Amino acid sequence: MSATATTRRLMPAEITAMKGRAPVVCLTAYTTPVARLADASCDVLLVGDSLGMVLHGLPSTLGVTMEMMILHGQAVARGSERALIVIDMPFGSYEEGPAQAFRNAARLMAETGAGAVKLEGGQHMAETIAFLTARGIPVMAHIGLTPQSVNTLGGYKVQGRGHDAARLRADALSVAAAGAFAVVLEKVPAALAAQVSRELAIPTIGIGAGVDCDGQVLVIDDMLGLFTDFRPKFVKRYAELGAQAAEAIAAYAAEVRSRAFPAPEHAFADEVKK
């Protein structure tokens, strides 16, 4: 479904205005059915490049393309009408410089209907964030653990511990000053995330960053338990749909093999002749 005259999508400025008023609720969404389920409860639906790992079986987010992001962004737009849609800029689509970032961000928004883009990086991305926001493209920043930089970070490690805290604070202040309307803090010590949240005028959206952030985001497949063998420390399972699905599939297979399914009520009779 698309936005209607009676239901208006939230805008980036409204998410910023939630700072200090109400926690921002964010989940990832990659498909139309999931967007329909999440739209009523979420302020932000993030079409994350995590879709490469979650849906396509890639080993990291680095192989995600613009075409993949557009395809899934369009699907989420068709399934939602209230939440702000934020779409990730994939690896290689913005790092070259502000002009490249603008071309690709404009394409993502124009072809999907997303209301904002998200990009990874702190101080070194401030110029690009300022360039985009000055040209009408709202930006959600992403600092701390930035999955597109996993090779240079040396893995999926907590960021901002010890002497690295000053660097993370500087990243946060830089992206806020550049015009980001919100910033994701991923895998950051809770006390540091709380300090950053107090210092910034824009909302912080935590993922593995403690309760004092201004909002929270999770990968929806993680919180629904669709992966039975993947349990990050920062994820709370609100359901175990993966195990339930496996049981249902096994029951279906058993009934097909025993010819218990389809039963007479699942079949069509011959046309009754008068």
Catalytic site includes residue 127: no
Structure tokens that stand for 227 in this block: 């992966």
Report pLDDT for 164.
94
ω into residue 33 within 30 of 0, thus cis?
A: no
Tens-place pLDDT, residues 44-90: 999 999 999 999 999 999 999 999 999 999 999 999 999 999 999 99
Report pLDDT for 1.
43
Q: Of all residues in the chain, what percent carry a pLDDT higher than 90?
A: 90
Which residue in the list 186, 247, 255, 271 is annotated as catalytic?
186
Q: Is 212 annotated as a binding residue?
A: no
Report pLDDT for 229.
77
SS3 content of the chain, % helix, strand, coil (to 5): 45, 15, 45
Identify the CA nearest to 107 among candidates 67, 135, 61.
Answer: 67
Domain boundaries, the chain: 12-239
What number of CA atoms fall less than 13 Å from residue 189's CA on the CB side? 13
Q: Of all residues in the chain, what percent carry a pLDDT higher than 70?
A: 97
Q: Is 49 annotated as a binding residue?
A: yes
What number of CA atoms fall less than 13 Å from residue 38's CA on the CB side? 31
Buried b / exposed e over 218-229, threshold 16 CB at 10 Å, is bbbbbbbbbbee
Q: Where on the phi/psi map is residue 187: left (φ > 0), alpha (ψ -120 to 50), or beta?
A: left
Homologous superfamily (CATH) of 12-239 is: Phosphoenolpyruvate-binding domains (3.20.20.60)
Tens-place pLDDT, residues 8-56: 999 999 999 999 999 999 999 999 999 999 999 999 999 999 999 999 9
